[in-house]
Every structure is written in structure tokens, then in C-alpha cells.
Chain A
Amino acid sequence: MSHSQTTTTEHHPALAHQFDSMEQQREASNFGMWCFLLTEIMMFGGLFTAYLIYRLKYYEAFVAGSTSISVSWGFANTLVLIASSLTMAMAVWSAQRGIRRFQVLFIALTMLLGATFLGVKAKEYYDKYEECHIPGASFDAEGGTGCEKGNIAQELVEREKIPLEAARQIARQSQIFFSFYFAMTGLHALHMILGMGLMTWLLWRARRDDFSPQYYSPVEYGGLYWHFVDIVWIYLFPLLYLISRHR
């Protein structure tokens, strides 16, 4: 069947033994990264689909729940993430050119922005905690003792001019909105935390001057991952904060 062929290539220290050339290695790992992102899309996709089904079913409750979260914080966080995508892209750019100083700078900036995002997210979660909007046994959106801040029912009465009884029913149902809110933003935040770990590793390698125009894939895939997590947020922000807030 076969003849033999010996492939001789210049041997880069980062070339793994199973590859014949740096190009093949780059193509393979690139392809793997995109497959992995596909997996991630399917994972968030399942959650998004469930969200949309319930949004149709409990429209009013979703509107009410959505109105109770802070657009300004969400918007600020969106800006932070977009900025971090820019710095991440810059980090990849500097890795491609092998400029160590810039790599370190931009990765550190990206991490800073990522941490800012997580901080803001934590503040938002804390607000929700104070308003008793954490789903579960202690959930209360009807203004019980200690939960006056998160009285969605009262807000509905004032804003929508509907009777209190209906408002309370809707407020109770908004628990399902918050279930999705925490599941979706929580999964996203988990990805951000993993991303921060990834960035720490990249920062360490960048400082060690591992990357060169011939070998910069780790930074590139770190970047792809970071952008992906960004894009998920770009969908989450309107779905959770904006589209229901129409009145």
C-alpha cells in the first residue's frame, strides 16, 4: 500500500511530536478550538431555548422581573466587556508580533476589566439578595418583612395600573425569570472566572516570553475563548435586561 516518506521540517521547540509542521499544528489546534466553541454554543443554546419558551409562557412575569434589574449596571458591564475584548485583541496582536511588553500589558488590562465585570456582577447579585429575589424558599417579590426593597408587586400596581392581586400573582411568577437570570448569568460568570484563570496562565507565559510570530496559538485561543464569552454576554444583556422593558 505504501511507500515511506520522511518529512523534514525545521524543528521549532513548541512543535509537538505528533505534528509534521508548525502550520499543521496551528491548523489543528485552531480547528479544535472552534469545535470546542461549538460545544459551548450548544450548551448556552439549550439554556437560551428554555428561556425563550418560558418567556412566551410567562410574558408578564418576565417583563416584571426584567424591569427590576438595573439596566445601567448591565450596560456598564457590557461596555467593560467590549473594552476587554479590545484589549484581548490587542494582546493577540502583540503576541503575533512578539512584543513581550505589550502582551503583558494588554493581558493584564484584560484581566483588570474582567475583574471589574465580575465585581459589578457581584454587586448586582448582592442587590438581588437584598431585594429577596434569589429563587428558592426565601424568594419574596411581594414586599414581605425585610424584603420591602424588592416589592415587584407594588411596582406593578403603580406602573401598570393593575389590581394588587394580579400584581402579586405576577410577582410570584417572576421567580422563574430570576431562576433563568441566575442560571444564565451564573454560567456566564463561571466562564469568566475560568477565563481569568486562563489569562493568569497566559500572563505567566507572556512574561516568560514564550510567544513569537511563529508560535502564539495559546494567546490566540485564549482570545477566541474570551471573545466567545463576550458574545454570550452580548446576547444575555438584551435578553435579560432590555427586550422585556418596552413600556
Chain B
Amino acid sequence: MQPKLPLFPQQASTVAGQVDALYLFLVLITTFFSLLIALLILFFAIKYKRTPGRKAEQIHGSTLLEIIWTVIPLGISMFIFAWAAIIYFHQRRPPSNALELYGVGKQWMWKFQYSGGQREINSLHVPMGRPVKISMISQDVIHSFFVPAFRVKYDVLPNRYNTVWFEATQPGTYHLFCSQYCGTKHSAMIGEVVVMKPEDFEAWLASGKAEGSMAANGEKYFQELGCITCHRPDSGARGPNLQGLYGRPVRLSDGRTVIADDNYVRESILDPAAKIVSGFQPIMPTFKGIVNEDGMLQLIAYIKSLNEQPGQPLNNRTSPTMIRDTEVPNIQQEMKENGETSKPRPEKKP
């Protein structure tokens, strides 16, 4: 096989062209200034080579020149700064119509889940021509999701969802690297991204073995864990109603308002006392060590799916049920029991 000597990575996403344009501009600037300095030095070195009979001419400096070579590089670099910042903002803001996927990084593999419930390991199939947004979290150390052909990269942190998005433009198979050093088999934490034509992608999705969608699995899990005992849509519930919650602002008991995004939902499950919804008591037990990252993603998918159902938004709730402290142990007992025998949900998903 002839050894390959590629000099430029494949362009396979909408943003790749933008990044490359900036890169080429910077290459141009670098070449220009490097050559300028190199040629000047060579020219001076030859022209003013030490010869008998000629002495150096003493020059103290020139404020005008100093200003020129301060202001011009400053101007150029501000231009680059602005250009690069625009690309960055574009890269950090996923379009709202993006296909949402979920990724979990662990030593040393990538796991992906589709909302339909299909799962993959070290391989990621995505449709061409449609923005794809991946919410990623790490089960252990910091990893980084890097697809050179798409010019995208973002760190995958423990305890926090980071997102990355891209829109692939070329069908094909591309490298997926972990680019943040993550331990012994860091260089083996690689995979492939397969970009497919939309119809092929749909076919591939349909052929995938899925035991129910993420939301359906999440619902099942929600009941198994007994969450349903308190998080009910009726007015007597001890926990906030979760219908219509996702993505909306939530008023907290200390007066702050936060957006109920992935990170909020995750924190509320693992560390329920951290942010108490206004009008409720901090009685929820933690699910730390019980819910793993995959299960967490399913729960979030389920809560997200509740937005499509009719229900009262959280903030409109006017008569919060106050709970007396004496009741708390009973509730906890009740919840434990419900972990085994979950009651049917009052409302069926359509």
C-alpha cells in the first residue's frame, strides 16, 4: 500500500468550511509575517555583514514605527478574534430543530443512545443534512468528544451535561477520538461516526434493536423507582408536577428562578436538597448511587416527553401542599414500598 500523506482533513460538516476559511486566513497571516521577518533578517544580515571600514549606524528607535507595529498587529488580531468568536458562538448554539442524541463517555468507550431507544458503542450513526445535538456526560474522568472531519470537540465532564452539535454534509465514515487524556487506554477510546443519507438513516434506525424508546424506558424506570408516588399531576401531590416542566423556568424556595434543563433535572435527582421548588418541602431522598448515567438519560427523556402531554405548568400551581415534618418518615417508608410495587399512573401516555 502506498503510504498516504494527507495535508488537510476531510470537510464533512457545515462548520468545517468556516473553520477552514479562518485557518487558511491565519496560515496566510503567519506565512506573511514569518516570511517578512525571515527575509528582513536575511537581507539585513547580508547587506550589513561586518566589513572592515564600515561602522554600524546608531539608531535609538522610532516611536512612529513602534506605534505602527503595535497598532497593525492589534488590528489584525482583533479582526481574527471577532471572526473566531462568531464561529465559536455558532458552534456553541445548537439549532432548535436538531436531532437529539445522548452520549456517555467512560474509561475507555463511548456509548450513545437515540431517543428511539437504540444504543451503540464506539460508533455513532447520524443522518446527513440535519443538525445533530449530543448531550454528553462522563461516568468517570474527563473525556473529550472530537470528530476532526466535523471540526467539533467538547469536553465530556463527570457530573454535568455538555452539548455538542454538528450538521454532517458528506456520507462516509469518520474518526471519533477522545482528545482529553483519560488514562491507560486513552488512545483506544476511539470510534467512528457514520454519516448516512436521511433515508438510509431512517432504515438503519428502524432495523436497530430497541426495547422501547428512551422515554418509555424512562417512564418504566420512573415507576420502578417510585417517583410517581409524589410527582403526580394532582393537586395533593407532595412533589412538583413534572408535566410541562422541562425547559421552563422554575421558581425556587429561596426566590431564585432557574431553567429546568438536563443539568437541573439531574441535580434534582441526585442532590434533591440543592434546589427546592417554591412551595415544596425538601423531603425527596437522593438517588445518588442508584441511578446510573444511562438511566438518568432515560429519566430525562421521559420528563422531556411529558411536555407533549396536557398538564398544568409548574409555576401556575397556586396551592402548594405543605407537609408537616412528622409526616416525613411515613412518606419515606411509603416510597420505599412503592419501589417494589409501583402503582399505575393516573394518566396514560397517548
Residues B273 and A161 in contact, CB atoms below 8 Å apart? no
Is there a chain A Cβ closer than 8 Å to B284's Cβ?
Answer: yes
Residues B273 and A170 in contact, CB atoms below 8 Å apart? yes
Is there a chain A Cβ closer than 8 Å to B10's Cβ?
Answer: no
Interface residues of B in 180-207 (CB under 8 A from A): none
For A60, the chain B residues whose CB sits under 8 A away are 273
For A35, the chain B residues whose CB sits under 8 A away are none
For A161, the chain B residues whose CB sits under 8 A away are 325
Complex interface bits, A152-182 against B, C-beta within 8 A gives 1, otherwise 0: 0000010001111110011001000000000
Complex interface bits, B301-341 against A, C-beta within 8 A gives 1, otherwise 0: 00000000000000000000001010011001000000000
For A166, the chain B residues whose CB sits under 8 A away are 272-273, 276, 281-284
- Number of contacting residues on A, CB 8 A? 11
Residues B283 and A165 in contact, CB atoms below 8 Å apart? yes
| Closest Cβ neighbor of B271 among chain A residues | A169
B interface secondary structure, majority:
loop
A interface secondary structure, majority:
helix
| Closest Cβ neighbor of A160 among chain B residues | B282
Complex interface bits, B241-278 against A, C-beta within 8 A gives 1, otherwise 0: 00000000000000000000000000000011110100
| Closest Cβ neighbor of A164 among chain B residues | B328
Given known contacts A60-B273, A170-B273, A165 and B282 CB-to-CB distance under 8 angstroms: yes
For B283, the chain A residues whose CB sits under 8 A away are 163, 165-166
A120 CA to B329 CA in the complex, in Å?
40
| Closest Cβ neighbor of B328 among chain A residues | A163
| Closest Cβ neighbor of A171 among chain B residues | B273
Residues A163 and B271 in contact, CB atoms below 8 Å apart? no
A160 to nearest B CB, angstroms? 10
A161 CA to B323 CA in the complex, in Å?
12
Is there a chain A Cβ closer than 8 Å to B286's Cβ?
Answer: yes
A58 to nearest B CB, angstroms? 8
Interface centre among B273, B281, B284, B286 (most CB of A within 10 A): B273
For A164, the chain B residues whose CB sits under 8 A away are 328-329
A71 CA to B283 CA in the complex, in Å?
31
For A162, the chain B residues whose CB sits under 8 A away are 281-282, 325
Residues B272 and A169 in contact, CB atoms below 8 Å apart? yes
A241 CA to B325 CA in the complex, in Å?
29
| Closest Cβ neighbor of B327 among chain A residues | A163
For B276, the chain A residues whose CB sits under 8 A away are 166
A163 CA to B328 CA in the complex, in Å?
6
Is there a chain A Cβ closer than 8 Å to B285's Cβ?
Answer: yes
Residues B325 and A165 in contact, CB atoms below 8 Å apart? no
A60 CA to B272 CA in the complex, in Å?
13
Residues B271 and A165 in contact, CB atoms below 8 Å apart? no
For B271, the chain A residues whose CB sits under 8 A away are 169, 173
B285 contact from A157, A165, A170, A173, Cβ within 8 A: A165
A163 CA to B329 CA in the complex, in Å?
9
A12 CA to B57 CA in the complex, in Å?
50
Residues A169 and B286 in contact, CB atoms below 8 Å apart? yes
| Closest Cβ neighbor of B284 among chain A residues | A165
For B272, the chain A residues whose CB sits under 8 A away are 165-166, 169
For A169, the chain B residues whose CB sits under 8 A away are 271-274, 282, 286
| Closest Cβ neighbor of B286 among chain A residues | A169
A60 CA to B276 CA in the complex, in Å?
12
Closest 9 CB pairs of A and B: A166-B282, A166-B273, A169-B273, A163-B328, A163-B283, A165-B285, A165-B283, A169-B286, A163-B281
Binding site for B on A (CB under 8 A): 60, 157, 161-166, 169-170, 173
Other 6 A-B pairs with CB < 8 A, given A165-B283, A165-B284, A169-B271: A161-B325, A162-B281, A163-B325, A165-B272, A165-B273, A169-B282
Q: What are 7 of the A-B contact pairs (CB < 8 Å)? A: A157-B325, A163-B282, A165-B284, A165-B285, A165-B332, A169-B271, A173-B271
